[in-house]
Amino acid sequence: AKLFDHAPDNIPFPYVTFGRTSVYDEVTGRENDAEQLFTLHFWSKSEARKEVLDVMDMVSARLQHAPLALDEHHRVNLRLEFSEVRYDEDLSACHGLLRFRAVTEENA
């Protein structure tokens, strides 16, 4: 599945789009520590949830175990906060959500 900020017209399914993101100052006693919340949306034309669940599982595992390269910060932790899959009758598509919480600290 491909990842998009906004899905182009006529993109083949399945695909993933970025959703809501938020950044908060983390109260750790250090400057420039932050908490990021981000949501990924998963889309499939299959009425069965399996295709979306398989892609969600793959992306979740890769994100949680990947060494993420950050310029001036490092990852303290990254965890899945919320997961949901449902069939959207109006769009005739299966829609999945993964919301992650990441905490980063400035490099020493």
Each residue's pLDDT tens digit, 23-51: 887 655 555 678 889 999 999 998 889 99
Residue 57 near residue 80, CB atoms below 8 Å: no
Residue 107 is which amino acid? N
Query: What pLDDT is stored for residue 28 in this prediction?
Result: 54
DSSP string covering 22-77: EEEE--SSSTT-EEEEEEEEEEES-SSSHHHHHHHHHHHHHHHHS----SSEEEEE
Query: What pLDDT is stored for residue 72 in this prediction?
Result: 78
Residue 24 is which amino acid? Y
Domains and CATH numbers, the chain: 2-106 (3.30.2000.30)
Each residue's pLDDT tens digit, 67-82: 777 787 777 888 999 9
